[in-house]
Amino acid sequence: MNNEVIITCAVTGAADSADKHPGLPITPKQVAEAAIEAAKAGAAVAHCHVRDPETGKAARDPALFAEVVERIRDSDTDVVINLTAGMGGDWMVDPQNPTQPAPGTDLIPPLERLAHVEALLPDICSLDCGTLNFGDGNSVYVSTPDMLRTMAARVKELGVKPELEVFDTGHLWFAKQMIKEGLILDPPLFQICLGIPWGAPATTLNMKAMADMMPEGAQWAGFGISRMQMPMVAQAVLLGGHVRVGLEDNLYLERGVLATNGQLVEKAVKIVELMGAKVVGPDEAREKLKLRPRN
């Protein structure tokens, strides 16, 4: 069991969910305010995507990320900033002509996916460690071994901690290979992502299998989506990990009741503390994860 738990809040995500929750953070101001709200509720880390302020759709404009980061850094609330680097990997397969991208494709070279990380130097950025059939259709998330090696090498040069997001055991296997190749500095940081179709389901056995695969000295967190969010909070702590909650992964506080990010963090804090563990703040998280010192 982990007795000192880092809570990450993933405040908005990239899913096409703006019409499902009227309070979902959309604009950079709303995303920053959600990160600050989560921090005040007990999250040490805020994981941030950005969205098009006009449409609510997922975006990757560095200017949007810059506004989010500036607003968080200018606030009086300390939180570790974790920016996604997963945008730009979407390939929509045209079933009539699979060699050509279908509408919705957004596939760019690996270093372009890091443009905002280069400019802003967050504490952490995510690396999605493998290709995945994403959802129940013709969408594929593309993240090849060579793409990941290129991104990991650049992130290492920048001094940003990569969060190695693993959606199945093969992703974790390859992340460990990058560690062996010297592309990831100690301690490596993993995020076990469960329940996303068609990665690993959110079950005790799957989280334990992936936790058992962790390299010695690794820090790891885990989450489940939708109704499995809070059960996986408890499961991750029991298995020795940290936790993640937030509206990226689950929109509801309980059945039929839409949540805020702050409420989800508060619920996770309560679970952690009822288990007899302590929720740590951003300074302790920085020390555990060996993050680059703040300027």
Sequential pLDDT tens for the chain (295 residues): 999 999 999 999 998 888 899 999 999 999 999 999 999 999 999 999 999 999 999 999 999 999 999 999 999 899 999 999 999 999 999 999 999 999 999 999 999 999 999 999 999 999 999 999 988 889 999 999 999 999 999 999 999 999 999 999 999 999 999 999 999 999 999 999 999 999 999 999 999 999 999 999 999 999 999 999 999 999 999 999 999 999 999 999 999 999 999 999 999 999 999 999 999 999 999 999 999 876 6
Provide the pLDDT for residue 136: 85
| Contact call for residues 138 and 93 (beta carbons, < 8 A) | yes
Confidence (pLDDT) at 266? 98
Contact 11, 235 (CB under 8 A): no
Q: CA-CA-CA-CA torsion for 93, 166, 237, 117, nearest 10 degrees?
A: -100
Q: Is 153 helix (H, G, I), strand (E, B) or coil?
A: helix
Residue range 4-289, CATH number: 3.20.20.70
- In this prediction, residue 18 carries a pLDDT of 87
Where are the strands (E) in 87-188, listed by range? 89-92, 106-107, 124-128, 132-133, 139-141, 161-166
Rounded CA-CA distance 194/224 in Å is: 5
pLDDT score of 295 = 60
Question: What is the residue whose two structure tokens read 């619920």?
Answer: 267
DSSP per-residue codes, 206-257:
HHHHHHHTPPTT-EEEEEE-GGGHHHHHHHHHHTT-EEEESTTT--EEETTE
Contact 251, 259 (CB under 8 A): yes
Position 201, amino acid: P
Collapsing DSSP to helix, strand or coil, 59 comes out as strand
> Which residue ranges make up each domain of the chain?
4-289
Going by C-alpha positions, the residue among 284, 281, 286 that lies closest to residue 38 is 281
pLDDT value at residue 253: 97
Is 107:88 a contact under the CB 8 Å cutoff? yes
> What separation in angstroms does the CA of 197 have from each of 51, 89, 111, 119, 214?
22, 16, 27, 32, 23
Whole-model pTM: value is 0.96
Residue tagged 């390939």 (tokens): 91
